[in-house]
Structure 1
Amino acid sequence: MIVTSARRAPGQARSLADSSSFLFPRRARLRYTTEASHDRPATRRRQFHDYFVTHIPSSSLHPDPRGPASSFHKLPRSASIPHTGDTPRSPTNFQALVGRETTVVRVPLRSAKHHFGAVSARGTRPGNEDAYQAGVIDIPAFAKRPPASLTIKRDAEAQSRESRGAQTASGDPQVFYFGIFDGHGGAECSAFLRDNLHEYIQNTAADFELQSSLRMTEAPKVMEGAEEIAEIDMATMSLPVMQGGNRQRIGDLEKTLVQNWRRLVGGYFKRFKPPNFFYYGAESAVDARTTGCSSIEEVMEYAFLRADLDFVKVQAAKRDDDLVQAEKPLNEDEILHSPNQTRSMKIGGRARFKGGSTASVAMISTPTPTPFWHPASLSSLLVSHVGDTRILLCSTTTGEAIPLTSNHHPSSPIEASRLRRYAATFVTDSFGEERMSGLANTRAFGDVQSKRIGVSAEPELRRIEMGPAEFSFLVMVSDGISGTLLDQEVVDIIKEARTPDQGATDVVKFATEVTKEGDNATCLAIRLGGWERRLEGGVGSLGTKESREWRRQDATDPRRSRT
């Protein structure tokens, strides 16, 4: 369940102010108020499943009583002919088998090795601070609707031949969610994001009253004083794709969230204006002229900032010197049958957690029930990124690795210019890497002691419209892999694997063999429409094969000096 701001009992506000004195200014402590949770309409609990739903022919589960008595599918290759139904030797009811009734089944995503693979290794570190999540998220579809010319005259029989997923309760196709989180200073923050970030996204979409992009066929109403806008085909509109929403409520939520950041933290957040918040003047041609609309980008930015605010707020309310409280078990004050009643104060353990975590989230939405890994399927990929975890795409035509994220480090010109006003201490460590107040990442969740200088969780957002079989697979890795292997090396290793699960295993194994740092290594591999053609582009996986073999031999050489 989502962690929300609970009402404090009388006398508890002083404890919050006293415990956060080392972090935030006195004015902020006096004026700080939590977001009003009673404004949220009563909605059902949003569902997140670690499985996907699909349709398969009934014969896959039970024998078909309508089928022929002979096992025609076991004929030798020389005696077999195409099953067209128009020849004497082919089964007359084969066409009936194609259009027969289908059975809805649930396939556990983490067990679907031909579709998804995830492997995590501790390396030489004392513990594994990486975390990941994968499943189906309960939000409206945000896919860009295909042109009408591709949908109005579709052959019904051909459509029945396609493998297709089930629709959600709202009638939209399933939206898939993949996240990778790299903690630092401990695993408390990365575990919090693994267990809760998808719920923040779901609840934000519900609070915004976000509508499906597949049902919006005309432009929203125009603001007062503006010229009237004719109906617009949403498939032809430029990005971002606008979706229906409660504009008044969205503005109130965004205003309250930014004010809470200013009052609680101050510093960098005194002039903070999220770029995708409509209330603070999001730069979009559609936003500037219309009302009653929102976008999935706005939802993701709000969800990231809200999750970070809740995590930081709970850490600020804790005391470092309360040794008696720190030694108590975490479940001591749980209520019978309601173990989550006191969960908000347990985020990060009893003592204040000063570490943080990076986060990279990939969500895939399709305009039809055909799943995104089908070779003929169109899909929309949205990437939300904070920190230095990495997301890559493999191009089917060229075989090249396409990075979708950038590292949020002090060495980045964009990050340096954003933080120069507040972070006066940029230093270079012994490895030649720039750091800011001892931190390698300029954007992260948590890190309560660095919030005032601008270490925020405002995500870098990127949307990619993926054509049929345009990309072979999607890769998500932590810095234990991206800091050791080149992007093309990661992609080439997965090309050689038979399944995404084997590819993720091979990437982690190779990175662990050749690394000099021994950092935690996590890899997620997701199959896309061009998976079967992954070796056709360019030189296949031969581009880095020689260098990878040399690196493996050098790493396993017993004469190699290790530091």
Structure 2
Amino acid sequence: MHGSTPIRASRTVNKSHANFYRAFHDYFVTHLPSSSLHPDSRSSSGPHHQLPRSASKPHTPGEGPSPAPLLHGARDTTVVRIPLRSAKHHFGVSVSRGTRPYNEDTYQAGVIEVPAFAKPRPLNLTRAPANSPLEAFRAKQQEEQANGSGNGEGTSAESASGDPQVFYFGVFDGHGGSECSDYLREMLHETIEETAKKYDLMSTLQRNTQEAAKGAAMSSKDAEKDTAGSAENSASDVLSDLQIAKASTLQNNLVQAWKTTVGGYFRRFRPSAFASPPEKPTILTILSHAFLQADLSFILAQLRLSKYDVDPVRSDAPLNANDSLYSPTHFPSSDPQQKKPFKGGSTASIVLLSTPTPTPFWHPSTPSTLYTAHCGDTRILLSQVSDGAAVPLTTDHHPSTPSESDRLRRWAASFVTDSFGEERMSGLANTRAFGDMGSKRMGVSAEPEIRRLDLNPSQYAFMVLVSDGVTGSVSDQEIVDIVKESKTPEVGAREVVGFANEVSVEGDNATALVVRLGGWERRSEGGGGGMGTKEAREWKRTEAADPRGRRT
């Protein structure tokens, strides 16, 4: 009986652990032809066509003795889940602790449940006549080709809300420890999902569909039903007013919580995304609220722990005094008295990608909408297909940045310059970060800098998210050129981190996350591939290999 207790405890902990991670999907759902799942007859399980690989061939609509296969020529598809981190041709990441004793960088990648925010496709008001089933099938084929979903590649499935999947990528660089970056990795996407539900965020795609259907109905009905349409408009206006009032309450409560909890700078600040008077909430409002809410939750947790610092008995107890490994006969406890407050923090840079159709964002003919939310000095870069240039989507939040200098000198405090000539605020290099509760009153904030970008089909080759362990020694264009020379995003991420470790002087933690976009196959066309910075990179390698050259 005594020996079975740890087993039951282990099962209980594992069950709660699984429930905790169930909200986030680190895979994407896609439709694949059933015949492509197991192309060999020796497959032991799953649907397959019982043909050897030599006898299998791609499906070609129109083959057969009659047009009948055309009518039923759509290939039988199966919904499959593909782990994003295993899809090396779509996503790659590399993490290195450098010469530091611990790795404080973390990352996250997956799919989150929020309404789509992609720019809807223009409405097609013409309808081609279908005089026969064959013409109807051909018209459907043309429509699929125009939407980018009929080119033989798998198309992503819809999310639970009926919208195409929204992809989420993030890089978090902790300082003073990894507690805050680990918290953001597991909780920031969940906070975004919860905030979208609180604000009753609407999908841009469903709204567009409803308006199109309503317009078509209005044009075909007589004047007698215009009255019903006016009543529907009035009901929609009332709903919009209620939504705006709810958003105003949520925003005021959040700002008031910051004022009463922290004070100082937050008694005067007003997030720029929170319009006054409030407007109908968008994804911009959701991201701003989620960042500030996640930071507030983390700060409140540390403040609750700080009152136990003065207890000399608890402070002398071992850190694992209540851990299951230290005492395996009882359950682990989440008692905050057994922990100490974390006074460090973390930067954060995240990307949300949404498409107007179920076709995934990496398809060459699919447009998409991208939102970046960022605080700190982790960077997000795009590689432009036309000229191969690196397009930065973020700016480092340092005291020397003009926008940050103006913000803090007006609403907060002044800066100091360290012995290396770098401006710092309360000893921090970043003026925006999560955590750092000792500097919150001085103006260090997690208010994100948000940017929206509509990506045309194959306009950009790939996207890179990097921590300052990479950008501290490698320029933006060098990062992009290194990835251009790589065969897959995974290889590109590994090469970027490897080069950063090779030429770095400080040996900081380095993280690179590479995401394939629609123009990946054309990444070497503009700017001569990676040749633009090849000589500069070779010089950095030569200089790093010479220890005497680093003497100052």
Contact 1:211 1:244 in 2 (8 A): no
1:394 equivalent to 2:383? Answer yes
Q: CA deviation at 1:272?
A: 1.5
Structure-2 change in CA distance of 1:269 and 1:341 (3 Å): farther
- The equivalent of 2:267 in structure 1 is 270
Structure-2 change in CA distance of 1:272 and 1:150 (3 Å): farther
Q: For 1:538, what is the secondary structure of its paired residue? A: helix
Q: For 2:256, what is the secondary structure of its paired residue? A: helix
User: Which of these residues, 416, 432, 450, is aligned with residue 443 of structure 1?
Assistant: 432
Separation in 2 of the partners of 1:70 and 1:463?
45
- The equivalent of 1:281 in structure 2 is 277
AA in 1 matched with 2:115: P
Q: Deviations over 1:378-420 (max 9, x none)?
A: 1110000001100000001111000000011100111111111
Structure-2 change in CA distance of 1:65 and 1:460 (3 Å): closer
- The equivalent of 2:207 in structure 1 is 216
AA in 2 matched with 1:506: E
1:182 equivalent to 2:178? Answer no
Structure-2 change in CA distance of 1:378 and 1:418 (3 Å): same
| Deviating more after overlay: 455-464 vs 321-330 | 321-330
1:156 equivalent to 2:153? Answer no
Q: Deviations over 1:176-211 (max 9, x none)?
A: 000110111111111110110011001001111112
- The equivalent of 1:255 in structure 2 is 252
Structure-2 change in CA distance of 1:440 and 1:200 (3 Å): same
Scaled by the length of structure 1, what TM-score is found?
A: 0.77
Q: For 2:365, what is the secondary structure of its paired residue? A: coil
Q: CA deviation at 1:434?
A: 1.1
AA in 1 matched with 2:269: F
Scaled by the length of structure 2, what TM-score is found?
A: 0.79
| Deviating more after overlay: 157-166 vs 116-125 | 157-166
Paired residues for 1:10-49 under 5 Å: 47-49=23-25
Paired residues for 1:395-544 under 5 Å: 395-421=384-410, 423-544=412-533
In terms of fraction of residues, the more helix-rich structure is 2
User: Which of these residues, 369, 380, 394, is aligned with residue 380 of structure 1?
Assistant: 369
Q: CA deviation at 1:421?
A: 4.0
1:332 equivalent to 2:322? Answer yes
Q: CA deviation at 1:171?
A: 0.6
Structure-2 change in CA distance of 1:66 and 1:329 (3 Å): closer
AA in 2 matched with 1:495: K
- The equivalent of 1:127 in structure 2 is 102
- The equivalent of 1:30 in structure 2 is none
Separation in 2 of the partners of 1:462 and 1:433?
27
Separation in 1 of the partners of 2:493 and 2:417?
33
Contact 2:34 2:48 in 1 (8 A): no
For these two proteins, the number of residue pairs brought into alignment is: 478
Q: For 1:215, what is the secondary structure of its paired residue? A: helix
Q: CA deviation at 1:94?
A: 9.4
Q: Deviations over 1:496-544 (max 9, x none)?
A: 0000000000000000000011111000000000000000112221100
Q: Deviations over 1:326-376 (max 9, x none)?
A: 435568399x9x989948x48xx8112111110001010111100000001
| Deviating more after overlay: 107-116 vs 430-439 | 430-439
Q: For 1:543, what is the secondary structure of its paired residue? A: helix
Contact 1:163 1:374 in 2 (8 A): no
Q: Deviations over 1:291-332 (max 9, x none)?
A: xx3100000000000111111111122233334334355683
- The equivalent of 2:28 in structure 1 is 52
C-alpha RMSD of matched pairs (Å): 3.4
Structure-2 change in CA distance of 1:505 and 1:454 (3 Å): same
AA in 2 matched with 1:496: E
Contact 1:442 1:456 in 2 (8 A): yes
Q: For 1:463, what is the secondary structure of its paired residue? A: strand
Structure-2 change in CA distance of 1:150 and 1:527 (3 Å): farther
Q: CA deviation at 1:97?
A: 9.9
Q: Deviations over 1:475-511 (max 9, x none)?
A: 0000011111110000000000000000000000000
Q: For 1:354, what is the secondary structure of its paired residue? A: coil
Contact 1:130 1:183 in 2 (8 A): yes
- The equivalent of 1:24 in structure 2 is none
Separation in 1 of the partners of 2:21 and 2:177?
30
Contact 2:37 2:48 in 1 (8 A): no
Separation in 2 of the partners of 1:65 and 1:449?
60
Separation in 2 of the partners of 1:425 and 1:518?
30
Structure-2 change in CA distance of 1:339 and 1:409 (3 Å): farther
Residue identity (%):
54
AA in 1 matched with 2:368: S
Q: CA deviation at 1:465?
A: 0.4
Structure-2 change in CA distance of 1:418 and 1:70 (3 Å): closer
| Deviating more after overlay: 414-423 vs 165-174 | 414-423
1:145 equivalent to 2:132? Answer no
Contact 2:269 2:411 in 1 (8 A): no
Q: CA deviation at 1:51?
A: 0.6
Structure-2 change in CA distance of 1:333 and 1:512 (3 Å): closer
Contact 2:349 2:374 in 1 (8 A): yes
Separation in 2 of the partners of 1:295 and 1:207?
12
Q: Which runs of 5+ in 1 are unaligned?
A: 1-43, 75-80, 220-227, 232-242, 288-292
Separation in 1 of the partners of 2:102 and 2:353?
31
Q: Deviations over 1:405-441 (max 9, x none)?
A: 0011100111111111454441222332211121111
AA in 2 matched with 1:265: V
AA in 1 matched with 2:397: H
AA in 1 matched with 2:173: D
Structure-2 change in CA distance of 1:248 and 1:393 (3 Å): same
Q: Deviations over 1:451-494 (max 9, x none)?
A: 11110100000000001011100000000111111100000000
Q: Which runs of 5+ in 2 are unaligned?
A: 1-19, 40-46, 129-137, 212-229, 234-239
- The equivalent of 2:286 in structure 1 is 299
Contact 2:322 2:333 in 1 (8 A): no
- The equivalent of 2:85 in structure 1 is 110
Separation in 2 of the partners of 1:430 and 1:135?
42
| Deviating more after overlay: 151-160 vs 269-278 | 151-160
Structure-2 change in CA distance of 1:69 and 1:524 (3 Å): closer
Separation in 1 of the partners of 2:53 and 2:340?
70
Contact 2:323 2:332 in 1 (8 A): no
Q: CA deviation at 1:141?
A: 0.7
